[in-house]
Protein backbone atom coordinates (compact mmCIF):
# COMPACT_ATOMS: atom_id res chain seq x y z
CA UNK A 1 0.00 0.00 0.00
CA UNK A 2 1.26 3.45 -0.86
CA UNK A 3 2.00 5.48 2.26
CA UNK A 4 0.83 9.08 2.28
CA UNK A 5 2.19 12.07 4.16
CA UNK A 6 0.17 15.24 4.74
CA UNK A 7 0.61 18.30 6.96
CA UNK A 8 -1.08 17.79 10.31
CA UNK A 9 -2.79 21.17 10.23
CA UNK A 10 -3.25 24.32 8.17
CA UNK A 11 -4.80 27.69 8.90
CA UNK A 12 -6.43 30.04 6.41
CA UNK A 13 -8.81 32.96 6.17
CA UNK A 14 -12.11 33.25 4.42
CA UNK A 15 -11.81 34.02 0.73
CA UNK A 16 -8.33 32.62 0.34
CA UNK A 17 -7.30 29.68 -1.83
CA UNK A 18 -6.01 26.72 0.15
CA UNK A 19 -3.64 24.12 -1.22
CA UNK A 20 -3.06 20.89 0.70
CA UNK A 21 -0.22 18.74 -0.55
CA UNK A 22 0.03 15.00 -0.07
CA UNK A 23 3.25 13.06 -0.61
CA UNK A 24 3.05 9.46 -1.88
CA UNK A 25 6.50 8.50 -3.08
CA UNK A 26 5.78 4.78 -3.58
CA UNK A 27 2.60 5.15 -5.56
CA UNK A 28 2.02 2.20 -7.88
CA UNK A 29 1.14 2.32 -11.56
CA UNK A 30 -2.51 1.35 -11.00
CA UNK A 31 -3.06 3.56 -7.94
CA UNK A 32 -5.53 6.44 -7.99
CA UNK A 33 -5.51 9.44 -5.66
CA UNK A 34 -8.66 10.27 -3.75
CA UNK A 35 -9.48 13.04 -1.30
CA UNK A 36 -12.13 13.01 1.41
CA UNK A 37 -13.43 15.68 3.79
CA UNK A 38 -14.67 15.00 7.31
CA UNK A 39 -16.57 17.31 9.63
CA UNK A 40 -16.72 16.62 13.37
CA UNK A 41 -19.13 13.85 14.33
CA UNK A 42 -19.80 12.95 10.70
CA UNK A 43 -18.57 10.31 8.29
CA UNK A 44 -16.09 11.34 5.58
CA UNK A 45 -17.38 12.77 2.33
CA UNK A 46 -15.79 12.18 -1.06
CA UNK A 47 -14.33 15.30 -2.69
CA UNK A 48 -12.37 14.31 -5.77
CA UNK A 49 -10.29 11.59 -7.39
CA UNK A 50 -7.65 11.58 -10.09
CA UNK A 51 -4.87 9.64 -11.79
CA UNK A 52 -2.69 12.28 -13.43
CA UNK A 53 -2.55 15.95 -14.49
CA UNK A 54 -5.49 18.02 -13.30
CA UNK A 55 -9.02 17.20 -12.29
CA UNK A 56 -11.63 19.83 -11.40
CA UNK A 57 -15.16 19.60 -10.08
CA UNK A 58 -17.58 22.05 -8.52
CA UNK A 59 -15.87 21.80 -5.13
CA UNK A 60 -12.12 21.49 -5.70
CA UNK A 61 -9.23 20.88 -8.06
CA UNK A 62 -6.65 18.14 -7.86
CA UNK A 63 -3.20 18.67 -9.32
CA UNK A 64 -0.97 15.65 -9.95
CA UNK A 65 2.53 16.13 -11.42
CA UNK A 66 3.93 13.83 -14.06
CA UNK A 67 5.87 11.65 -11.59
CA UNK A 68 2.70 11.23 -9.45
CA UNK A 69 4.76 11.20 -6.24
CA UNK A 70 2.64 13.96 -4.77
CA UNK A 71 -0.73 15.61 -5.29
CA UNK A 72 -2.28 18.91 -4.28
CA UNK A 73 -5.88 19.50 -3.35
CA UNK A 74 -6.88 23.08 -4.11
CA UNK A 75 -9.92 24.66 -2.46
CA UNK A 76 -10.82 28.02 -4.07
CA UNK A 77 -12.02 30.87 -1.84
CA UNK A 78 -12.59 28.91 1.35
CA UNK A 79 -15.27 29.78 3.88
CA UNK A 80 -15.76 28.97 7.54
CA UNK A 81 -17.75 25.89 6.51
CA UNK A 82 -14.64 24.40 4.90
CA UNK A 83 -13.11 23.89 8.35
CA UNK A 84 -12.67 20.12 8.43
CA UNK A 85 -10.15 17.29 8.23
CA UNK A 86 -8.99 16.42 4.71
CA UNK A 87 -7.69 12.94 3.91
CA UNK A 88 -5.54 11.90 0.99
CA UNK A 89 -5.86 8.24 -0.03
CA UNK A 90 -3.85 6.35 -2.57
CA UNK A 91 -4.77 2.91 -3.83
CA UNK A 92 -5.99 0.70 -6.60
CA UNK A 93 -9.69 -0.14 -6.52
CA UNK A 94 -10.40 -0.49 -10.20
CA UNK A 95 -8.49 -3.72 -10.65
CA UNK A 96 -9.68 -5.08 -7.33
CA UNK A 97 -6.35 -5.05 -5.54
CA UNK A 98 -6.88 -2.06 -3.33
CA UNK A 99 -9.87 -2.59 -1.14
CA UNK A 100 -7.76 -1.86 1.88
CA UNK A 101 -7.36 1.87 1.43
CA UNK A 102 -6.03 3.66 4.49
CA UNK A 103 -7.16 7.09 5.58
CA UNK A 104 -4.18 8.20 7.66
CA UNK A 105 -4.57 11.08 10.12
CA UNK A 106 -5.40 13.74 7.56
CA UNK A 107 -4.91 17.52 7.55
CA UNK A 108 -6.97 19.65 9.92
CA UNK A 109 -7.90 22.83 8.03
CA UNK A 110 -9.08 25.74 10.11
CA UNK A 111 -10.64 28.71 8.34
CA UNK A 112 -11.03 31.97 10.21
CA UNK A 113 -12.70 35.28 9.47
CA UNK B 1 -33.06 7.87 -0.55
CA UNK B 2 -31.88 7.57 3.04
CA UNK B 3 -28.36 6.67 1.89
CA UNK B 4 -26.41 4.73 4.50
CA UNK B 5 -28.10 4.29 7.87
CA UNK B 6 -26.58 2.94 11.05
CA UNK B 7 -28.12 1.80 14.31
CA UNK B 8 -27.71 2.49 17.11
CA UNK B 9 -26.24 6.01 17.21
CA UNK B 10 -24.84 5.57 20.70
CA UNK B 11 -24.13 2.51 22.84
CA UNK B 12 -22.48 1.82 26.16
CA UNK B 13 -21.37 -1.73 26.91
CA UNK B 14 -19.70 -3.42 29.80
CA UNK B 15 -16.55 -5.45 29.19
CA UNK B 16 -17.49 -8.91 27.95
CA UNK B 17 -20.92 -7.99 26.60
CA UNK B 18 -21.78 -8.58 22.97
CA UNK B 19 -23.65 -6.48 20.47
CA UNK B 20 -24.31 -6.07 16.78
CA UNK B 21 -24.02 -2.81 14.88
CA UNK B 22 -26.43 -2.59 11.99
CA UNK B 23 -25.83 -0.91 8.66
CA UNK B 24 -28.11 -0.62 5.67
CA UNK B 25 -27.91 1.18 2.33
CA UNK B 26 -30.68 1.82 -0.16
CA UNK B 27 -28.50 2.78 -3.12
CA UNK B 28 -28.08 -0.73 -4.56
CA UNK B 29 -24.33 -0.57 -3.97
CA UNK B 30 -22.22 -3.67 -4.33
CA UNK B 31 -19.50 -3.05 -1.76
CA UNK B 32 -19.84 -2.26 1.91
CA UNK B 33 -17.27 -1.41 4.59
CA UNK B 34 -16.87 -1.11 8.34
CA UNK B 35 -14.33 1.36 9.78
CA UNK B 36 -13.43 2.47 13.24
CA UNK B 37 -12.14 5.91 14.17
CA UNK B 38 -10.39 6.52 17.45
CA UNK B 39 -10.05 10.07 18.84
CA UNK B 40 -7.69 12.20 16.75
CA UNK B 41 -7.03 9.37 14.34
CA UNK B 42 -7.93 8.50 10.81
CA UNK B 43 -10.30 5.70 9.88
CA UNK B 44 -9.11 2.11 9.96
CA UNK B 45 -10.80 -0.60 7.95
CA UNK B 46 -12.18 -3.49 10.02
CA UNK B 47 -13.93 -5.64 7.41
CA UNK B 48 -15.36 -5.17 3.98
CA UNK B 49 -17.68 -6.94 1.60
CA UNK B 50 -16.81 -6.51 -2.05
CA UNK B 51 -20.13 -7.99 -3.11
CA UNK B 52 -23.09 -9.83 -1.67
CA UNK B 53 -21.98 -13.16 -0.26
CA UNK B 54 -18.35 -12.20 0.28
CA UNK B 55 -16.49 -10.68 3.21
CA UNK B 56 -12.83 -10.05 3.87
CA UNK B 57 -10.61 -8.75 6.64
CA UNK B 58 -9.30 -5.23 6.70
CA UNK B 59 -6.55 -3.68 8.75
CA UNK B 60 -7.96 -4.33 12.27
CA UNK B 61 -10.34 -7.34 12.21
CA UNK B 62 -9.49 -8.92 15.58
CA UNK B 63 -12.42 -8.99 17.99
CA UNK B 64 -15.04 -8.47 15.27
CA UNK B 65 -17.20 -10.53 12.95
CA UNK B 66 -19.36 -9.41 10.06
CA UNK B 67 -22.34 -10.65 8.11
CA UNK B 68 -23.42 -9.49 4.68
CA UNK B 69 -27.05 -10.41 5.17
CA UNK B 70 -28.12 -9.32 1.70
CA UNK B 71 -27.14 -6.62 -0.74
CA UNK B 72 -28.55 -3.88 1.50
CA UNK B 73 -27.32 -4.91 4.94
CA UNK B 74 -23.89 -5.41 6.47
CA UNK B 75 -23.65 -5.97 10.23
CA UNK B 76 -20.69 -5.84 12.58
CA UNK B 77 -20.65 -7.99 15.71
CA UNK B 78 -18.56 -7.64 18.83
CA UNK B 79 -18.68 -11.00 20.60
CA UNK B 80 -16.94 -9.95 23.81
CA UNK B 81 -16.46 -6.21 24.01
CA UNK B 82 -13.21 -4.78 25.39
CA UNK B 83 -12.36 -1.19 26.41
CA UNK B 84 -9.95 -1.05 23.44
CA UNK B 85 -12.99 -1.25 21.17
CA UNK B 86 -14.27 2.09 22.42
CA UNK B 87 -14.48 4.07 19.20
CA UNK B 88 -16.74 5.57 16.58
CA UNK B 89 -17.79 3.03 13.98
CA UNK B 90 -18.62 4.05 10.44
CA UNK B 91 -20.26 1.99 7.77
CA UNK B 92 -19.77 2.88 4.12
CA UNK B 93 -20.89 1.63 0.74
CA UNK B 94 -19.51 1.96 -2.77
CA UNK B 95 -21.40 1.41 -6.02
CA UNK B 96 -18.86 -0.71 -7.86
CA UNK B 97 -15.22 -0.81 -8.95
CA UNK B 98 -15.69 2.05 -11.39
CA UNK B 99 -15.54 4.69 -8.69
CA UNK B 100 -13.49 5.49 -5.64
CA UNK B 101 -16.40 7.29 -4.01
CA UNK B 102 -17.64 5.77 -0.78
CA UNK B 103 -20.81 6.91 0.94
CA UNK B 104 -20.58 6.97 4.71
CA UNK B 105 -23.21 6.57 7.40
CA UNK B 106 -23.51 8.89 10.40
CA UNK B 107 -21.56 6.58 12.71
CA UNK B 108 -22.13 4.71 15.96
CA UNK B 109 -20.38 5.98 19.05
CA UNK B 110 -19.50 2.97 21.23
CA UNK B 111 -18.12 3.12 24.74
CA UNK B 112 -16.96 -0.03 26.53
CA UNK B 113 -16.45 0.30 30.27
- The one-digit pLDDT tens for each residue of chain A (113 residues) are 568 999 999 999 999 999 999 999 999 888 899 999 999 989 999 999 999 999 999 999 999 999 999 999 999 999 999 999 999 998 886 655 445 677 778 999 999 99
Q: Does B60 touch chain A (CB under 8 A)?
A: no
Per CB-CB distance under 8 Å, the chain A contacts of B92 are 43
Please judge whether B98 and A94 are an interchain contact, meaning their C-beta atoms are less than 8 angstroms apart.
yes
CA distances for A77 relative to A9, A16, A48, A85, angstroms: 18, 5, 17, 17
The strand pairing partners of A14, in sequence order, are: none
B72–chain A nearest CA distance, Å: 19
Cβ atoms A22, A87 nearer than 8 A: no
CA distances for A95 relative to A49, A68, A69, B56, angstroms: 16, 19, 20, 16
Per-residue pLDDT of B43-68, as tens digits, reads 899 999 988 889 999 889 999 999 99
Per CB-CB distance under 8 Å, the chain A contacts of B4 are 43
Amino acid sequence: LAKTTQPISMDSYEGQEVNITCSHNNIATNDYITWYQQFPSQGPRFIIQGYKTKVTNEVASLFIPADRKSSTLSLPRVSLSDTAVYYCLVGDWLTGGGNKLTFGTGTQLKVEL
Amino acid sequence: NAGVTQTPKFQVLKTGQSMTLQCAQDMNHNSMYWYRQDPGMGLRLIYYSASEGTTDKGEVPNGYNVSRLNKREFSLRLESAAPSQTSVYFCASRPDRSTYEQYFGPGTRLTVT
